[in-house]
Structure 1
Amino acid sequence: MNLLGIQALLTLICYFFFIFISFWAIQGIHLERILHVSDPNQFKTLIVLLSIGLGYMGGSFFLELINNIRNLSYLLK
């Protein structure tokens, strides 16, 4: 396996992990009390889309943080 394949696999795992965490966290908020839900299917779709968005942002932040920490070694050389 080359380095790009390993990095792609770790990126996918990181994104799915953060999407799962955000989905779990959003379900604990009980948004149906705040929003007036007319169609339950639309509400479930909203929760999934919010989870994907938050998970992607959290995963991107985490991956960029790791990448920047790794690049700090070039500053010291």
Structure 2
Amino acid sequence: MENCKPVQTPLELQPNYDVTKECIYAKPYRELIGSLMYVCLTTKPDICVAVNFYSQFQTDVTEVEWVGLKRVLRYLKGIYDLGLRFK
């Protein structure tokens, strides 16, 4: 995901449900959810809704959820330089 194209929002309004509906187990879905939970709790609270939404599908992951979770990574790529500053 280093060379991915950044997106403006972490969630897509209408995801593409034309992709296969088979459950996939070879992808590191749970590991990515855990990593994104750490990121949203420590530095990027704007992705909390997206991470919470995709964490519901940990038992029956399809390609739709996997593509959606990778969209969160693409969003993080676009806001890498942004951060919170408390005075």
TM, length-normalised to structure 2:
0.32
Structure showing greater relative contact order (alpha-carbon pairs closer than 8 Å, 6 or more residues apart) = 2
Q: Tell me the TM-score normalized by structure 1.
A: 0.35
Higher Rg of the two aligned structures: 1
Structure with the larger helix share: 1
